[in-house]
Amino acid sequence: MALKVERRPAPVWLPPLLPLLAVVITFVLTSALVWLAGANPLRAYYHFLIEPLSSRVSALEVLVKATPLLLTGMAVMLAFYGGFWNIGAEGQFLVGATAATAVGLNMHGVPPWVALPLMALSGFAAGMAWALIPAVMKTRLHTDEVVTTLLLNTVALLLVSALLNGPWRDPISQWPQSPEIASTAILPKLAPRTRLHLGFLIALATAFVVGVLLRRTVFGLRMRAVGLQPKAARFAGIPVERMLLVSALASGGIAGLAGMVEVAGIHYRLIEAISGGHGYTGILVAMLGNLSAPGVVLAALFIGLIDTGSQTVSRALGVPVYLGEVIQATLLLVTLAVLLLQNYRLRWERRG
């Protein structure tokens, strides 16, 4: 007898269960790390998943953590959906935050209903411009966008560092951070004495619009065709290069909008750690959400819960706070493996 791997179409009931399966496998794998850190895995996962929801403040903090992840997850999902493998949401996030800060610093005396849309447009436009470079290189020069978008992340980080250690260095504290943006350029809070801000509703609205666009319009159908089978799409008369360009620009714009939301909603200034890897985590959110808008919303909330819970479990059990990042990294690898294997099955075959 020999174990054979063969390709087969995935059953209809399987794809919705894959994210849950990936989460369960991840928790089983990382329980050994929790045990080695000197904690009971069941108690640790209680503090990861249940404890943050036990109080109003920590539950709203989950929404705060999920807000930028929802936007970067939607950005990555939109690009992947259209066949553009955008690994550059991190860089697009950074340039969006930078452009929004540049506008916000000059909004003193401008009413919020003017300042906030201008900041949002600047962040969106900057993210689009940053995504335009690898998009043109792919459509015109057939360059691998995985490499170009990934390399541009470092360029964006160096650009932010140069600004914060140069012309934007805080003149009072001399810390590598920009001065505060105008008070009229700050997103209003949704709940008093919490960090939850209007950006969460912006993220939900973006997810709704993108979901309707992809699932309910001819444009979304064409984009999906390009993402699945570009040769067949070209044969059907769909302008493949144009669709790739549009998906890349829209993806970069949403990632840039996430940078604006983080500046105007949380930090009120540009700092070097403004992202914290939100662009890279957006890849995990998109894949865990199975490249669907409702799935991305749920995945962003789940990762926000893990982020909040990592601080809770560290205080309660004394394990490193970085355990949450280890779980996220493991979850990404497991999710990719599960999604890859959904179209295959193992079968025993008698030799001879």
Distance CA 146, CA 298 (A): 26
Q: Which tens digit of pLDDT belongs to each residue from 284-322?
A: 999 999 899 999 999 999 999 999 988 888 888 888 878
Q: Which tens digit of pLDDT belongs to each residue from 249-266?
A: 999 999 999 999 999 999
Within a domain: 111: yes
Q: Under DSSP, is residue 191 helix (H, G, I), strand (E, B) or coil?
A: coil
Within a domain: 40: no
Q: Tell me the whole-structure pTM to 2 decimals.
A: 0.92
**CATH code of the domain covering residue 90:** 1.10.3470
Within a domain: 44: no
String of DSSP letters for 253-314: HHHHHHHHHHIIIIISS-BTTSSSSHHHHHHHHHHHTTT-HHHHHHHHHHHHHHHHHHHHHH
Burial class from Cβ neighbours inside 10 Å (0-12, 13-18, 19+) for residue 218 reads exposed
CA dihedral of 261, 56, 26, 7, whole degrees rounded to 10: -60
Q: Which tens digit of pLDDT belongs to each residue from 129-156?
A: 999 999 999 999 889 999 999 999 999 9
Within a domain: 2: no
* Whether pLDDT at 1 is above 70: no
Within a domain: 93: yes
Within a domain: 351: no
The contacts of residue 212 (CB under 8 Å, 6+ apart) are none
Any idea what the Cα angle at residue 73 is, between residues 121 and 179, rounded to 5°? 45
* Whether pLDDT at 10 is above 70: no
Helix and strand totals (H; E) in the chain: 13, 2
Within a domain: 83: yes
Within a domain: 7: no
Residue range(s) defining the domain that contains residue 198? 56-300
Domains contained in the chain, number: 1
